[in-house]
């Protein structure tokens, strides 16, 4: 199996992009990635998108986006794993380059979520839950994650301030990211006293509805050395796993087992352990999700993720910086694009290009992207060469 590098990344500003279509958003980011990589030819492409059919009435994205990018007739494939679709696209591109089938592959993610009403967006997102046993009975994703939060509080004493600390930290990071949807800071009180969505989660515990795209160019190490002028960032490990979708079928409401299993595979492939990871971009669709994920990745003992956030251990200057980009909470969450946006942030940090939020000399970064309430997860570990 060949070694694989990320040689270029591109991401547009995320938010409510009323004046742009799904094809505009994707092509904009793809061209940025191609320019950053300095390539004039790609062999194939993968696009992560959760549900463009429900959001904008457009399926057959693989062909459409290859066409509007001007890359027909290259092979183009759309992949879906709910909110983990972007991470899965990166995994598919990695496999293609590592296998030797292609030398240069574009991987991207895109979602245009604001062309429907709030109810329409809720319906579209709910397709990632168990329709018969959860959605039919009125469960929404805020409700499902609220159940996890309540149980985490009950088992480990996690507090309201601990949940709020995640949002405060991520908004602070997002205020330093010019591509983030929300660049305003908040406070513990501001999060706790926001409109209640599903007890104990307020509006400020929840990631927003977002339009956006992100792309990356993957290449074999040998090819990358020929064409890239950027510092090379190698993908050391990849892990993918699934879990039961319905919460009532799981052994625990406080562990996201797909993340546990995906990270085990990525750590083993990379020859790394949690202590070797300098920073991470994780799937903070809700504040409780970041707390649970940091525990399930092995960064903190189970039940201590909330303490870590409140004590500043996950801040930019903490022992394990988490979501330097602002995360889904502040940067935004265009569901199909999120996993590739995480890759873009890690690459920028490893190349020393993250601006005001730049960490001091990071060497190894991790991304964790998951679908729905954790029914699927993709983990990547990257290292600057």
Catalytically active residues, by annotation: 83, 333
Helix (H, G, I), strand (E, B) or coil at 320: coil
Residues with Cβ within 8 Å of 241's Cβ and at least 6 positions away in sequence, in order, are 257, 258, 259, 260, 261, 262, 265, 376, 377
CA distance 149 to 166: 13
CA torsion, ordered 144, 207, 287, 279, to nearest 10 deg? 130
E strands along the chain, which residues? 4-11, 44-48, 76-79, 104-111, 196-198, 201-202, 212-220, 233-242, 279-281, 364-371, 376-384
Neighbours of 21 (CB within 10 A): 15
CB 110 within 8 A of CB 22: yes
Helix (H, G, I), strand (E, B) or coil at 370: strand
DSSP letters for 224-244: HHHH--SPPEEEEEEEEEE--
Q: What is the CA 250 to chain-centroid distance, rounded? A: 23
Structure tokens belonging to residue 139: 């469960």
């Amino acid at each position: 199996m060949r070694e694989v590098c990320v040689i270029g990344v591109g991401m547009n500003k995320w938010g409510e992009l009323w004046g742009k279509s799904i094809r505009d958003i994707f092509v904009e980011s793809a061209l940025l990635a191609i320019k950053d990589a300095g390539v004039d030819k790609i062999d194939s492409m993968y696009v992560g998108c959760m549900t463009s059919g429900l959001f904008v009435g457009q399926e057959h994205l693989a062909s459409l986006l290859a066409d509007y990018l001007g890359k027909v007739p290259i092979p183009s494939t759309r992949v879906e794993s709910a909110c983990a679709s972007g991470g899965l696209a990166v995994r598919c591109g990695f496999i293609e380059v590592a296998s030797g089938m292609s030398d240069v592959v574009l991987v991207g993610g895109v979602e245009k979520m604001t062309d429907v009403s709030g109810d329409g967006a809720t319906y579209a997102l709910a397709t990632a839950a168990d329709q018969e046993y959860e959605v039919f009975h009125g469960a929404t994703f805020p409700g499902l994650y609220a159940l996890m939060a309540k149980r985490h509080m009950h088992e480990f004493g996690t507090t309201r301030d601990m949940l709020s600390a995640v949002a405060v930290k991520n908004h602070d990071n997002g205020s330093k990211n010019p591509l983030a949807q929300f660049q305003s800071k908040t406070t513990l009180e501001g999060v706790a006293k926001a409109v209640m969505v599903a007890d104990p989660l307020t509006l400020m515990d929840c990631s927003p509805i977002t339009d956006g795209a992100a792309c990356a160019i993957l290449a074999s190490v040998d090819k990358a050395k020929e064409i890239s002028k950027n510092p090379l960032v190698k993908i050391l490990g990849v892990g993918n796993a699934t879990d039961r979708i319905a919460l009532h079928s799981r052994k625990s409401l406080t562990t996201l087992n797909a993340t546990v299993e995906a990270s085990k595979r990525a750590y083993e492939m990379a020859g790394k352990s949690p202590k070797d990871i300098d920073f991470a971009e994780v799937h903070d669709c809700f504040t409780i999700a970041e707390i649970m994920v940091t525990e399930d990745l092995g960064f903190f003992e189970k039940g201590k993720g909330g303490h870590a956030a409140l004590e500043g251990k996950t801040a930019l200057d903490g022992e394990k910086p988490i979501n330097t980009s602002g995360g889904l909470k502040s940067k935004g969450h265009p569901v199909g694009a999120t996993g590739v946006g995480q890759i873009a942030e890690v690459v920028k940090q490893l190349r020393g290009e993250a601006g005001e939020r730049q960490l001091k000399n990071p060497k190894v970064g991790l991304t964790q992207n998951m679908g729905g309430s954790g029914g699927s997860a993709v983990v990547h570990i990257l290292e600057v060469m």
